[in-house]
Amino acid sequence: MSRQGAAVTVEDLTVAYERHPAIHHIRGQFAAGSLTAIVGPNGAGKSTLVKTIAGTIRAVSGRVRRDPAGPASLAYLPQQSEIERGFPITVLDTVLLGAWRRIGWHRAAGRPEMDAALAALDAVGLAHFEQRGVSTLSAGQFQRVLFARLMVQDAPLILLDEPFTALDSKTTRDLLALVERWHGEGRTIIAVLHDFDQVRAHFPDSLLLARELVAWGRTESVLTPENQAAARRISEAWDENAGACHEAAEDALRVGT
């Protein structure tokens, strides 16, 4: 199936927690159908940016425009740590949540939703797991279930927050193949990642973040040693002196370029 991906425009976006900015004046565009990795040091605001795009937290200033807009046009994978893995819910029910925009608060899942869920489970290598409780799954199996849910959501924009953290290489390989398949289907994909080699091998575009935007574009021109050093410097400057952050960040950027 091929479809038009969604375009995401970030307009001078600032998001803060308790008045401390987590990301600061980010602007740029994720083109329709692009496959972008968001990278940066810990505390750089990567998850914050993804959550703001997903619409789960609100910006202090600036905004995110998605085309098409509306919650139905995006599928979001939260970090595993934000999900209650011991919850008494079956694999099938978890995957069926992907059909939320059709079943919503009250409607029952019908044959089409059920078929989509079973097909998705099959695609992530978990056929016949549908009646298992999620608490019996390993971290890798659980992530496969969440990927199946993303497939059922069938959205033009897919947001992944650290999708491969703490997974073994086989699981990571399988799930990366799915991401590339979605990319081939023309969907827009944005993923928070830590493994630079993985980003270079699989992600054409990158966004390097250190609360400020350090670089955004083709991966080979973003993940340069100079940019990475600049990201580290900005992030350290922020940590040492949160008050005078803006100037510190700009100084660091100037030194870097």
Partner 1 sequence: MLYDYLAGPFVEFPFLRRALVGAIALALGCGPIGTLLVLRRMSLMGDAMSHAVLPGAAIGFMFAGLSLPAMSLGGLGAGLLVALLAGIVTRLTPLREDASFAAFYLMSLALGVLIVSTHGSSIDLLHVLFGTILAVDDTALILVAGIATVTLVALALLYRPLVLDAFDPGFLRSVGVPGSTIHGLFLTLVVLNLVAGFQALGTLMAVGLMMLPAAAARFWAREIWSLAAVSSALAALSGYLGLLVSYHADLPSGPAIILVAGLLYLISVGLGRRDSIRTRYFVKSHLAA
Tell whether residue 169 is a contact of partner 1 (CB under 8 A): no
Q: How far is the CB of 158 from partner 1 (least distance, A)?
A: 11
Amino acid at 164: F
| Pick from 98, 69, 82: nearest CA to 157 | 69
Question: Contact between 83 and partner 1 (CB under 8 A)?
Answer: yes
* Interface region with partner 1, contact rule CB under 8 A, candidates 1-9, 32-40, 65-73, 177-185: 65-73
Show Cβ contacts of residue 76 under 8 Å, excluding neighbours closer than 6 positions.
50, 54, 56, 158, 159, 161
Cα–Cα nearest to 114, from 91, 134, 139, 135: 91
The answer to whether residue 141 forms part of the interface with partner 1 (CB under 8 A) is no
The residue range among 7-15, 31-39, 87-95, 225-233 that interacts with partner 1, by the rule CB under 8 A, is 87-95
Which residues, numbered 230-249, are part of the site for partner 1 (CB under 8 A)? none
In this complex, which beta carbon is closest to partner 1, that of residue 20 or of residue 173?
A: 20
Please provide the size of the chain in residues.
Answer: 257
54 lines the binding site for partner 1 (CB under 8 A): yes
Burial of residue 73 (CB within 10 Å: 0-12, 13-18, 19+) is middle
In the bound complex, what is the minimum distance in angstroms from residue 8's beta carbon to partner 1? 14
* Residue among 74, 199, 207, 214 that touches partner 1 (CB under 8 A): 74
| Contact (CB, 8 A) for 15 and 59 | yes
Among 43, 133, 186, 204, which residue interacts with partner 1 (rule: CB under 8 A)? Answer: 133
